[in-house]
Amino acid sequence: MKDIQGQVFSDFQVPDTSDGSYRGRKKIAEATQKHIEMKLSQEVVRVNQQLKASKIRVSVVLRNGAIQLRATLPLKPGDTHPGGREKKQYTLSLGIPASFDGLKTAEEESHELGKLIARQTFVWTDKYLGVQAKKKESVTFKEFYEKFEDIYFSTRKRTLKSEHTFRITKNRCQKYFSSNQVISANEIKSIINNIETPANRRHAVIISRIITNYLNLDIDLSDIDLKYKPKTRDIPTDQDIVILIKNIDEYINSLTINRTRAAQTANRNKLIYGLMAVYGLRPREIFNQPLLDWFTSPDNLHNTFKVHESNKTGYREIFPFVPEWIELFDLKNPANITLLKNYCYDTTSTTTLCARVSHLSWFFKKYKLPFKPYDLRHACAIRAHLQGIPIKAAADNLGHTVEIHTKTYQRWFGLENRRKAFNQAFEEQTEVEKLKCEVTYLRKRLAETEIELARYKLKEII
């Protein structure tokens, strides 16, 4: 197929999922694989129709992850026919993978075999006996890496999201799997075992599965993962967030008139900082087609922020975690909104998006902010828990599953936030105890009043 993206994926809609975890990725992978299998089956039917129309007495079949040729041929050496005939139908395995490139190869092989049959010159060579197919092709990691982009997008649709994932995965592939060594199961295991950090080893395992699937290598990687040890991370408190945005304001006010560009950059970054703090946005969700007209619209009565559908977990509408900060941080300042619009206008490629995210990290370092941009998002997850927002509602607001949300705030909860949670629980418990005492007292008073009333009625009767 000349244009796999145009012909195979043009009618494929990548499933929406709010799950960036393994479960969410698996859902997308399964839907993609199902679509590819459907399209490949359709192409096999088309190829067989063309072969038949061309009077080529060979057909192609999909079988066990491979494409094979089927034809009536002279008896294989040492074989017999139950009816005593000299020919028999055979299915030939030539080591052709079940892919669109493989189908093209199978079609070419069918034409070649068809000519031999028509000329009655077919001979059982190693190729048709399947001996060559059983020999492992010697491919180096470097050769695989050079074809990595074609291989990667032969099984997934090109979108802004998949382009971003590919860019990261390719860099990792280059880091671990680009040597001149011949690919083998032992070599792959050796490379992975030399990676000491759990996260990097997990990334290498993901890439190795792409390699082994492409080359049909049998390899067991189930026991190769390292146990993850979470790092300590200081999540900013609400007080920290407010103080630091005031520091940015002081910096802007200190700029001289002739430093207009520096002031514009600082105002734009202040708005980005504020949006992340109030809505728990991922950095990319601010830069990738932000729906700022809705954010500033008079119809936006609840001050929600809408994330564009092409982002990591699709479209969502977010309620502010701290509504009062919208005014305090001056988030709807028309001049700053215009600066952000202009900044995001040409952010249409993965390369530009990554550059924008990197620049945001640089801004945090330049202004000596004692945390990373993503920590503002983690702070929202923790804050939602302390505010008593139901986990499902908070998870939907942040654009991930309940499972991911729970892991996030548990991982970064910290001693101070635990203290707040305990204090809050004790205060609520104390309040409940007070109410219980009041109820008991009121019940007692009610009983006493009923007794007094009964005595009064009895006196009237007497």
Q: What's the pLDDT tens digit per position in 434-446? A: 677 778 878 888 8
Residue 334 within any structural domain of the chain: yes
Residue pair 316/396 in contact (Cβ under 8 Å)? The answer is yes
Q: Pick the catalytic residue: 284, 377, 378, 385?
A: 377
In this predicted structure, what is the pLDDT of residue 312?
Answer: 82
10/119: higher pLDDT = 119
Q: Phi first, then psi: what are they for 18, rounded to 5°?
A: -95, 15
Side-chain half-sphere exposure of 250, counting CA atoms within 13 A: 7
Which of 95, 111, 135 represents a domain boundary (last residue)? 135
Does some domain include residue 259? yes
121 inside domain:
yes
- Helix (H) and strand (E) counts in the chain: 21, 5
Which member of 203, 282, 316, 372 is catalytic?
282
Residue 55 has pLDDT above 90, yes or no: yes
Last residue in a domain, options 120, 135, 150? 135
In this model, does residue 375 exceed pLDDT 70?
yes
CA atoms in the 13 A half-sphere facing the CB of 434? 6
| Residue 17 confidence (pLDDT) | 61
111 and 145 inside one domain: no
Q: Determine what percent of the chain is predicted with pLDDT higher than 70.
A: 86
DSSP secondary structure, 261-318, as one string: HHHHHHHHHHHHHHHHHHH---HHHHHSS--HHHHT-TT-TT--EEEPTTSTT--EEE
d(Cα 282, Cα 274) in Å, to the nearest integer? Answer: 12
Indicate which CATH number applies to the domain containing 339.
1.10.443
pLDDT tens, 305-320? 999 988 888 899 999 9
Q: Is residue 229 part of a domain?
A: no
Is there a domain that residue 297 lies in? yes
Same domain, 283 and 386: yes
CB contact burial 46-70 (16+ within 10 A = b; e otherwise): ebbeebeeeebebbbebeeebbbbb
Please confirm, yes or no, whether 282 is among the known catalytic residues: yes
117 pLDDT higher than 90: yes
Told to judge if 312 belongs to the known catalytic residues of this protein, a careful annotator would answer yes
Q: Are both 124 and 149 inside the same structural domain? A: no
Q: Is the pLDDT of residue 80 over 80?
A: yes
374 is catalytic: no
The gap between the terminal CA atoms of the chain, to the nearest Å, is 108
Q: In what order do the strands lie in the sheet with 87-97?
A: 59-63, 66-74, 87-97
Number of compact structural domains in the chain: 4
Q: Apex CA 275: angle with CA 274 and CA 280, to 5°?
A: 115
Evaluate whether residue 347 is within a structural domain: yes
Q: Within this chain, do residues 389 and 426 fall inside the same structural domain, yes or no? A: no
**If you average pLDDT over residues 214-230, what whole number do you get?**
76
Question: What is the distance between the alpha carbons of residues 32 and 26, in angstroms, rounded to a whole number?
Answer: 10
Tokens of residue 250, six digits: 């002081």
CA–CA distance, 269 with 263 (Å, rounded to integer): 10
Let me know: does 312 contact 399? Beta carbons within 8 Å.
yes
According to DSSP, residue 259 is labeled -
Residues 81 and 147 in one domain: no
Q: What is the mean pLDDT of the chain?
A: 84
Of 161, 284, 400, 405, the catalytic one is 400
My answer on whether 76 and 158 are in the same domain is no
- Choose the catalytic residue: 161, 203, 312, 405: 312
- Residue 244 and residue 191 share a domain: no
Cβ atoms of 66 and 52 closer than 8 Å: no
Of 134, 143, 43, the C-alpha closest to 95 is 134
Contact 284, 311 (CB under 8 A): yes
In this structure, is residue 35 part of a structural domain? Answer: yes
319-349 tens-digit pLDDT:
999 999 999 999 999 999 999 999 998 777 8
- Residues 158, 11 share a domain: no
By the 10 Å C-beta count (0-12 exposed, 13-18 middle, 19+ buried), 319 is classed as: middle
Same domain, 398 and 457: no
Catalytic choice (273, 279, 343, 409): 409
Of 81-85, 172-176, 331-335, 391-395, the range with the lowest mean pLDDT is 81-85
- One domain for residues 451 and 343: no
The percentage of residues in the chain with a pLDDT greater than 90, rounded to a whole number, is 40
400 counts as catalytic? yes
Tell me: pLDDT of 235 over 80: yes
* Full residue range of the structural domain in which residue 450 is found: 414-461
The verdict on 388 and 249 lying in the same domain is yes
pLDDT tens for each residue of 280-297:
999 999 999 999 999 999
Q: Is 377 a catalytic residue?
A: yes
pLDDT at 454 over 90: no
Please indicate, yes or no, if residue 222 is contained in any of the structural domains: no
Q: Of the candidates 414, 160, 456, 426, which has an alpha carbon nearest to the alpha carbon of residue 284?
A: 160
At which of 382, 407, 432 does a domain end?
Answer: 407
